[in-house]
Amino acid sequence: MRAVVIDAFRSRPEVREVAEPTAPPGGVVVRVMATGLCRSDWHAWAGHDEIALPHVPGHELAGVVAAVGAGVRRWRTGDRVTVPFVCGCGRCEWCRSGDAQVCPQQEQPGFTHWGSFAEHVALRAADTNLVAVPEHVDFATAAGLGCRFATAYRALAGRAQVAAGEWVTVVGAGGVGLSAVMIARALGARVIAVDRNPEALAVARGLGAEHTLRAAGTDVPAAVADLTGGGSHVAVDAVGSEQTCADAVLSLRRRGRHVQIGLLPPVEGHPRVPMARVIGWELDLLGSHGMAAADYPDMMRLIAQGALEPQRLVERTIGLEEAAALLPVFDTTPVAGMTMIDPAL
């Protein structure tokens, strides 16, 4: 099969023929119909994650079951499926309680094993991790659910428990940030979107952001305080840097809730967080690490009802060759939505 292969960190990825995977016991092989290009994939390419080389990246995907391993009960060849980017073992106490996203033995396609920038991908513990894709949901939309959209949904609905009428500040208007804007509005919140890219901010306005702020040259916390009368109730760092994390935390009102979605890799030592404000204003700091398959039904219902429209977040679809060229510069590439890959192109 054709796949994007990384031979060394920060080297130019190549598209070449590699061996097709086989279905593991309890798992499946999925023919990849769509897979997303995400900032997390760039972190893997840059060496910020412990991955074995050579490596095939890609962690948010949708497709058709092509082969089924021994012991799988719920799935058959031909089924339309997607999967969370965090796959639980299916056996531990966290998986049994529906919290596979914090499974100690978790696997992540594109990180712990070869991922979905390929024509086929192997997935383990299928009965725990796979999610059926309804016929009316296209594969590109379904692929975007696995990381960015589902992560944003659980961050706001599950972790921060956003209530109608609350102010929500979203720092970063890439795929996960724009997802957060849409979801916060669907929950009845008033949204402020922050980004350096005016095109992304225009998309955020179209998705319901009441205010938008250019990050460059703006005192973001002061601007949010002015707009909201003291700060937002909830803030989301959807980028993952010291600056964006601090801007989000300092944008909160007293007793506010911060949700960290963007990865904060300790590239130059552990990142600094304004903990004095956290203590003095009794802020809640919440992590959000994807969403387990068990939590998908509520989100899928809102999509079916039209209250959530993740298809609006897909900016473009590219092929494997273009994906290989784009991956090394994806951290600095202006985006105004999600980039999807069709391995058949």
Percent of the chain predicted with pLDDT > 90: 88
Output the pLDDT for position 335.
Answer: 78
CA–CA dist 294, 296 (Å, integer): 6
Tell me what the mean pLDDT of segment 192-208 comes to. Answer: 96
Tell me what the mean pLDDT of segment 192-219 comes to. Answer: 96
SS3 state at 252? strand
Tell me what the mean pLDDT of segment 270-278 comes to. Answer: 91
pLDDT higher than 70, residue 253: yes
Q: Report residue 268's pLDDT band, with 50, 70 and 90 as the boundaries.
A: low
Task: Detail the DSSP E strand segments found in the chain.
Answer: 2-5, 14-17, 28-37, 61-68, 80-82, 120-123, 131-132, 167-171, 190-195, 211-214, 232-237, 252-260, 284-287, 314-318, 338-341
**Percent helix, strand and coil across the chain, each rounded to 5?**
30, 25, 40
Q: Report residue 267's pLDDT band, with 50, 70 and 90 as the boundaries.
A: low
Q: Higher-confidence residue: 198 or 336?
A: 198
Instruction: For residue 35, list its beta bridge partners.
Output: 61, 341
* Token reading at 187: 């929950």
Tell me what the mean pLDDT of segment 32-37 comes to. Answer: 97
Output the pLDDT for position 334.
Answer: 82
pTM over 0.95: no
Span 156-199, pLDDT tens digits: 999 999 999 999 999 999 889 999 999 999 999 999 999 999 99
Output the pLDDT for position 108.
Answer: 96
